[in-house]
Amino acid sequence: MKRFKQAKDIKVGVIGYGGAFNMGRGHLREMMHAGMTPTAVVDVDKERLKVAQEDFPGIETYASVSEMLRKSDVHLLAIITPHNTHAKLAIQCLNAGRHVVCEKPFAITTAECDAMIAAAKKNKVMLSTYHNRHWDGCILQALKTIRSGAIGDVVRVEAHGGGYGKPGDWWRSSKSISGGILYDWGVHMLEYMLQIVNSEIVEVTGFAKTGFWAPQTAWKEDTNEDEGFAVIRFKNGTWGSLCITQIDSNPKRGMIEVTGTKGSYLFDGGWFEVYTHSGKDTVIRKGQNPPSEWWAFYQNIAEHLTKGTPLVITPEWARRPIHILDLANQSARKGKALPAKYR
């Protein structure tokens, strides 16, 4: 792979400039912060291209990826589109010799991840996934405390998200577009879990409750599951669970609970709680998580492309949570645990 002399030589673009969270603007700003040069924006929605022009006056705008690839010499593209488009658009860009950062989830199936990784290797270009939450303050703090031995050996990691309410009438609630209820926030939580557990994936069992909300949504039969649940068995004897739900009435759960041989560590975005034991008493320590360091993602990408610094989020790393989600989907359909191909 040819190295760039300096970060500003790297011309960057985004595919998808959606209004939901203004992610396109966010990516371009973080890329700029890492020294790279915003050059192009693609969106099938012309109104969003107007917004991009207001945000970055003079930036190239295109209504299709094919047109952009024909006309622009942009080097690195971030794909920020609905989940079921990631693999196809990434492979199109990789085959055109461009470096690619795909938004999470990397893709929907393991086979899609394999095809994307093969395309990056064949074309000798970089492929990564925007796992910005790898640098969330909550996981940075959790890893520091857990790795210090404060809760002993990790035995179990439980991840939980959702609440009680009808899913939105939007692509995130469509099973065929999003991949299912586990894919949006679930992929972030699995990425936390894989860091905490640090062991090989052995097998995955998935469960799904469907149909409760479907009659009340625009998607009807294509509406995401009401609840998705996955249990992951790891080689070192640890197990993890992931539950994302629209039918949970208990408001008191935190996002992640890690149970160790000497205590428990609970966290959500803003706070953490550590429960340990001294004699017969339970000792409770509570605190606020430090700020997130999302800028570190594109800093690493720029250093990889200029100096050859190893990627933190390799495509093989990004494939692991997708493999779990894919196995959970298949397992829920088949009603049995499935062995992992990628450990």
Ligand X SMILES: NC(=O)c1ccc[n+]([C@@H]2O[C@H](COP(=O)([O-])OP(=O)(O)OC[C@H]3O[C@@H](n4cnc5c(N)ncnc54)[C@H](O)[C@@H]3O)[C@@H](O)[C@H]2O)c1
Stretch near ligand X under the rule CB under 6 A, chosen from 43-51, 159-167, 212-220, 230-238: 43-51
**Residue 80 interacts with ligand X (CB under 6 A)?**
yes
**Closest to 326 (Cα-Cα) out of 307, 310, 341:** 341
In DSSP notation, 22-41 reads -HHHHHHHHHHHTT-EEEEE
The one among 4, 56, 106, 130 contacting ligand X by CB under 6 A: 130
Sign of CA dihedral 317, 146, 324, 175: negative
**Residue 42 interacts with ligand X (CB under 6 A)?**
yes
Provide the minimum distance between the beta carbon of 247 and ligand X in the complex, in angstroms, as a whole number. Answer: 22
Peptide bond before residue 215 is cis, with ω within 30 degrees of 0: no
Minimal CB distance to ligand X: which residue?
A: 18
The one among 2, 5, 20, 73 contacting ligand X by CB under 6 A: 20
**Residue 316 interacts with ligand X (CB under 6 A)?**
no
Nearer to ligand X, 181 or 340 (CB): 181
Provide the minimum distance between the beta carbon of 325 and ligand X in the complex, in angstroms, as a whole number. Answer: 13
Chain-centroid distance of CA 162 in Å reads: 17
The one among 110, 129, 132, 205 contacting ligand X by CB under 6 A: 132
Contact 217, 199 (CB under 8 A): no
**Residue 165 interacts with ligand X (CB under 6 A)?**
no
**Residue 199 interacts with ligand X (CB under 6 A)?**
no
**Residue 65 interacts with ligand X (CB under 6 A)?**
yes
Q: Dihedral of the CA atoms 83, 319, 230, 331 (nearest 10)?
A: 90
Stretch near ligand X under the rule CB under 6 A, chosen from 82-90, 228-236, 247-255, 304-312: 82-90
The one among 8, 33, 45, 236 contacting ligand X by CB under 6 A: 45
The span from the first CA to the last CA of the chain, in angstroms, equals: 27
Contact 51, 17 (CB under 8 A): yes
| Helix axis angle, 110-123 to 315-334, nearest 10° | 160
Stretch near ligand X under the rule CB under 6 A, chosen from 39-47, 110-118, 229-237, 328-336: 39-47
How many CA atoms lie less than 13 Å away from 175 in the CB half-sphere?
19
Task: Using DSSP, state whether 172 is helix, strand or coil.
Answer: helix
What are the residues facing 62 on neighbouring strands? Answer: 42
**Residue 23 interacts with ligand X (CB under 6 A)?**
yes
**Residue 21 interacts with ligand X (CB under 6 A)?**
yes
Residues that bind ligand X in the complex, under the rule CB under 6 A: 15-21, 23, 42-45, 48, 65, 80-83, 85, 103-104, 130, 132, 184
